[in-house]
Amino acid sequence: MSENEIQICAEDEKYQNTSELAELLKNSKGGEKLKLRVGQNLKHRRLDQYLNGRITTFSRTMIQKMIKEKQVLVNNKAVKPSYALNSGESISITLPEPVSKEITPENIPLNIIYEDDDIIVINKQKDLIVHPARGYKSGTLVNALVYYTKNLSSGSEDFRPGIVHRLDRNTTGAIIVAKNDEAQWKLADQFQKRTTKKTYKAIIHGNPELDADMIKNNIGVHPTIREKQAVRPNEGKEAITIYRVAERFKGFALVDIDILTGRTHQIRVHMSHIKHPIVGDNTYGGKDVYEWQVRAQEPQPQEPVIGRPALHAWKLEIDHPKSQKRMTFTADLPEDMENMLKLLREVRSLD
């Protein structure tokens, strides 16, 4: 066995030498060889699924990429990610070079609502991912923050300096950033204990029957589409959303939404579940809206008034990490939502 090669045998889907494997992955410089042997009790598991469960350092997408690039061999042969493993088979893995942890500063405009020595509150624009992830190493809020200031917390994970919570790529509005590690853990503790208050504004399809209501349905990963979330009564995690109708129009409504939990896509999933999806949310049943539609005119080529989920983090309440003073931050609505509301008030008013 060569110097940079390690033998790890799996029995009953458990590593015999977990610590040695973890140490190898932690210190990998790329090119090391990892050998696994499929346990006797495992049959017909997809190769990519098996490795995703064994090597949690890599995402399933990364593992699939490694298999397709022949960095993963089964019995010394190249196979597909869907290859069905059998007990006793040998898996050889060539570890990829680690991704650089350096973040490139980028001069991306930031709409700063508030800043002091401990926090920055930003009104995030649409089409801006919060932190680097696979496929998105640049053009993120973190890249902009690193350019803007050298004073950021170390963050909870690599590539996330300053990041305490997140908003979806096309969700606009208030997001808070920690400028030091003390502010980071104190704010993170508030979010975990649900002492923060987050209020959103959304434009939805249709008019809810009630002026206000609580939606309490568990949310988990969609049973067949892994990129989506869904209401999962028996398998998901508790999710609580409260909406209040702020303004009604013919065919649409503006709602204020408080979330008491912070599940992925929670508002989008819950509003879709009650048959009032968010305008522009193509993933969860919403539709892009065009001016000719609102005005009930003949179809014509034009850009949508709203071509992304009409969801905005309008208000954020926190206890300041140093002074402990309760603070409320409000983020102005983005132009596309303002334009949509102006059009609805002009054409679809119920008055």
Catalytic position from the list 48, 168, 281, 336: 168
Asked if 141 and 129 count as a contact pair (C-beta separation under 8 A), the reply is yes
Give the tokens for residue 325.
């003073």
Query: What is the spatial distance between Cα 189 and Cα 209, in angstroms, rounded to a whole number?
Result: 37
**Are 92 and 35 in contact, with CB atoms under 8 Å apart?**
yes
Spell out where 143-262 has E strands.
172-178, 197-205, 212-216, 219-221, 229-231, 240-249, 252-259
Cα radius of gyration rounded to whole Å, the chain: 24
Round to whole Å and give the CA distance between 150 and 117: 12
Task: Please state the separation of Cα 177 from the chain's center in Å.
Answer: 16
Distance, CA of 9 to CA of 17 (rounded, Å):
8
CA distance 173 to 329: 10
Q: Is 148 left (phi over 0), alpha (psi -120 to 50) or beta?
A: alpha
- Please state, in angstroms and rounded to a whole number, the distance separating the CA atoms of residues 314 and 347: 25
The encoded tokens of residue 302 equal: 């034009």
CA distance 293 to 305: 10
Helix ranges, 101-162 (H): 141-148
168 is catalytic: yes
Q: Which residues are catalytic?
A: 168
